């Protein structure tokens, strides 16, 4: 990969400095300053605001493979982190083309202004295809992204910082991403003619406790849309505190960082919750930590899965879903003990994407079923979870599809 693009004729105002010493020059956008993070690439064509506010991207710089990002602007509805004031999500972003002025009826702010307000450092004007190929061949690198409007950089110091950063392995970021306090969620999914609505107390048939390791809003909306009143609780909540809420079911959320690191305090809690007999459903980081609690292991991936075009097969139905993915760690299929069944698998690389515990109402998936690339291929998983609650209450099942 060429360190300095041949078409660069002006002083660069942003740098991406990889841990191996590679320096990539571009034009700075968004916030100024510098930050250490891991660089990944995302192949989604749409949904950049949801991606950049997904807490699972905390500690990462997102390279978009689609060249034109920012055309629809930003708004206050398409954010995913539960506590936007804390700015949980990606810390850096890389685009190929300059951001254009927004052209969408829902746009409230230019993407560059929004990036500044969120504290996200950006770089554009580089060959993102070449960077993507580099990541595919070498893995997701540790790096420093820096933006100075005057183009003044201590390159050697940035190289040293990128090389010295320890990376995401053994890093617990759930304590950073969690909302940190118990709260109630009742907002239901967005409708074209109504926007968002609130679940009425009279329509709240079930109570779900969501352990927040960096939860996304749309996950909570889909629960509410199925009549679930959701109590969101911090990542460090104990099993006794969860059970004291008298939930009908327990949700283990997505989140950033190394599942083994977060699992040092979360896995014993998850084991106790599984033993309670209540229905348990996990997504992404929640899936990985459930696997750890059931005796499996996780490992760092070479390039991770980040995109909205990933085919996943559900072995329980035989159907293939097009799903959103965002993870750099994965459950090792061979590590799953007897009694833990692999339910979903990636058709890209065969990696594990789901599990269930035999004889208990416990299951999880690696992908993000609340996202809509399919557009609703995986929404049945929420109905599957609610059906476990209904079964325990002696109620008839909902149709999954």
pLDDT one-digit tens code per residue, 255-266: 999 999 999 999
Give me the catalytic one of 38, 161, 321, 370.
370
pLDDT score of 39: 98
For residue 187, how many C-alpha atoms fall within 13 Å in the half-sphere facing its CB?
17
| 368 among known catalytic residues | yes
Domain 14-164 has CATH 3.40.718.10: no
pLDDT of residue 251: 98
Confidence of residue 4 (pLDDT cuts 50, 70, 90): very low
What's the pLDDT band for 8 if we cut at 50, 70, 90?
very low
Tell me, what's the pLDDT at 2? 43
Told to judge if 370 belongs to the known catalytic residues of this protein, a careful annotator would answer: yes
Q: How confident is the model at residue 10 (pLDDT cuts 50, 70, 90)?
A: confident
* Mean pLDDT on 368-390: 93
Q: Tell me the pLDDT tens digit for each residue of 278-331.
A: 999 999 999 999 999 999 999 999 999 999 999 999 999 999 999 999 999 999
Instruction: Please report the pLDDT score of residue 192 as a whole number.
Output: 84
Sequence-separated (6 or more) residues with CB below 8 Å from residue 53 = 78, 79, 80, 81, 84, 88, 89, 90, 118
- Write down the catalytic residue from 284, 306, 353, 379: 284
Q: What's the whole-number mean pLDDT along residues 207-225?
A: 97
| Whole-number pLDDT of residue 292 | 98
pLDDT band at 85 (very low <50, low <70, confident <90, very high): low
Domain 174-392 in the same topology as domain 14-164: no
Residues 88, 327, 368, 379: which is the catalytic one? 368
pLDDT tens sequence across 132-158: 999 999 999 999 999 999 999 999 999
pLDDT, residue 375, reads 80
Which one is the CATH code of 174-392: 3.40.50.880, 3.40.630.30, 2.102.10.10, 2.40.50.140? 3.40.50.880
Active-site residue flag, 287: no
Residue 1 has pLDDT above 70, yes or no: no
**Domain ranges within the chain, ordered by starting residue:** 14-164, 174-392
Average pLDDT, the chain: 95
Percentage of residues in the chain having pLDDT higher than 90: 91
């Amino acid at each position: 990969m060429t360190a300095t693009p041949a078409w660069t004729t002006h002083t660069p105002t942003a740098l991406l400095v990889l841990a191996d010493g590679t320096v990539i020059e571009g034009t700075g956008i968004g916030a100024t300053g510098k930050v250490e993070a891991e660089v990944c690439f995302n192949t989604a064509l749409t949904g950049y605001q949801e991606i950049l506010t997904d807490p699972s991207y905390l500690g990462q710089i997102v390279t978009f493979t689609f060249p034109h990002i920012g055309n629809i602007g930003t708004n206050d509805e398409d954010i995913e982190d539960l506590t936007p004031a804390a700015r949980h999500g990606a810390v850096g972003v890389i685009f190929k083309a300059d951001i254009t002025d927004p052209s969408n009826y829902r746009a409230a702010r230019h993407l560059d202004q929004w990036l500044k307000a969120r504290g996200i450092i950006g770089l554009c004007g580089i060959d993102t295809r070449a960077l993507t190929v580099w990541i595919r061949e070498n893995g997701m690198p540790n790096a420093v992204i820096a933006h100075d409007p005057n183009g003044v950089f201590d390159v050697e110091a940035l190289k040293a910082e990128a090389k010295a950063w320890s990376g995401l392995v053994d890093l617990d970021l759930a304590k950073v991403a969690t909302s940190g306090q118990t709260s109630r969620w009742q907002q239901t999914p967005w409708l074209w003619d109504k926007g968002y609505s609130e679940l009425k107390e009279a329509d709240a048939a079930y109570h779900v406790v969501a352990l927040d390791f960096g939860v996304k809003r749309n996950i909570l909306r889909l629960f509410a849309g199925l009549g679930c009143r959701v109590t969101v609780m911090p990542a460090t909540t104990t099993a006794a505190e969860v059970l004291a809420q008298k939930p009908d079911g327990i949700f283990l959320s997505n989140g950033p960082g190394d599942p083994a690191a977060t699992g040092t305090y979360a896995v014993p809690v998850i084991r106790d919750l599984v033993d309670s007999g209540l229905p348990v459903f996990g997504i992404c980081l929640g899936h990985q930590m459930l696997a750890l609690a059931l005796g499996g292991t996780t490992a760092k991936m070479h390039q991770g899965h980040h995109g909205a075009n990933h085919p996943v097969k559900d072995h329980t139905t035989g159907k293939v879903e097009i799903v959103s993915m965002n993870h750099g760690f994965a459950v090792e299929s061979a590590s799953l003990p007897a009694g833990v069944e692999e339910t979903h698998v990636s058709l890209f690389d065969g990696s594990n994407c789901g599990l269930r515990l035999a004889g208990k109402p416990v299951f999880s998936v690696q992908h993000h079923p609340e996202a809509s690339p399919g557009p609703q291929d995986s929404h049945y998983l929420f109905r599957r979870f609610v059906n476990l609650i209904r079964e325990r209450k002696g109620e008839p099942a909902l149709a999954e599809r």
